[in-house]
A and B are shown apart, each in its own frame.
Chain A
Amino acid sequence: QKEVEQDPGPLSVPEGAIVSLNCTYSNSAFQYFMWYRQYSRKGPELLMYTYSSGNKEDGRFTAQVDKSSKYISLFIRDSQPSDSATYLCAMSAGTSYDKVIFGPGTSLSVIP
């Protein structure tokens, strides 16, 4: 079993739809959870960053963490064509020398 699993998609939605992206993980030591967005031919850029369980909202984006289920989600409201990208979840146990483990990414297309 991989440490972090993510459905690769591709996921295609109409403009304005609510998008749900998800990752599961196996390492209960993970405490820091991130979502990165990667546009074609670009490097990943941080989108959302949460610590431990709970929700975090930033504009149209909401990140949820359920540590009891080892499950994290990213919701995008009122999706826009500019949201078309690959979304990578990433996790870390968070001590000074712990590495970040990335999911394989979900490819999202928002159709105008």
Chain B
Amino acid sequence: DADVTQTPRNRITKTGKRIMLECSQTKGHDRMYWYRQDPGLGLRLIYYSFDVKDINKGEISDGYSVSRQAQAKFSLSLESAIPNQTALYFCATSDLSRGPIQYFGAGTRLSVL
């Protein structure tokens, strides 16, 4: 089984709909991240959490919110989806003892029509 699991793997939704992307990990890491990936722009950080009580905005947090339900679970929500949120979304984890190395899930491909 994957250490970092994202659900769903693919999602098509309509403009204005609320959508939640989920991430769970079995690595026992405290730190979790949400990124979006767009062609030519690479990975951009949306939100990150260093532990259950810690949530921080990344460089592109507008239009997104997150919830850290437990050490192993970190969800990303789009409150009212818009077409320019169409992208590939990745969850990642890291552990302070391993420095900046991050471990990624397989991604969620989201299309907003």
A: residues with CB less than 8 A from B are 6, 8, 32, 34, 41-46, 49, 88, 90, 92, 94, 96-100, 102-105
Contacts of B2-38 to chain A: CB distance below 8 A: 4
Q: Assuming the A-B contacts A49-B101, A102-B42, are A43 and B96 also in contact, with contact meaning beta carbons closer than 8 angstroms in the complex? A: no
Closest chain B CB from A57 CB (angstroms): 18
Q: How large is the interface on B (under 10, 10 to 19, 20 to 34, 35 or more residues)?
A: 20 to 34
Nearest neighbor of B107 in chain A, beta-carbon distance: A43
Report how far A45 CA is from B92 CA in the complex, Å: 10
- Residue contacts A-B, CB under 8 angstroms, 8 given: A43-B107, A44-B90, A49-B101, A88-B42, A90-B100, A92-B100, A96-B96, A100-B102
Report how far A59 CA is from B107 CA in the complex, Å: 28
Q: Assuming the A-B contacts A8-B40, A97-B50, A104-B42, are A44 and B99 also in contact, with contact meaning beta carbons closer than 8 angstroms in the complex? A: no
Q: Which of A43, A44, A94, A104 contacts B100 (CB 8 A)?
A: A94
Residues on A with beta carbons closer than 8 Å to the beta carbon of B100: 32, 34, 90, 92, 94, 98, 100
Report how far A99 CA is from B92 CA in the complex, Å: 12
Main secondary structure of the interface of A (DSSP, over half): loop
Q: Assuming the A-B contacts A46-B101, A100-B100, are A105 and B107 also in contact, with contact meaning beta carbons closer than 8 angstroms in the complex? A: no
Known pairs A42-B107, A44-B43, A94-B99; list 15 more (Cβ under 8 Å): A32-B100, A41-B106, A41-B107, A43-B4, A43-B92, A43-B105, A44-B90, A44-B104, A88-B43, A99-B48, A99-B58, A100-B100, A102-B42, A104-B41, A105-B42
Residues on A with beta carbons closer than 8 Å to the beta carbon of B58: 99
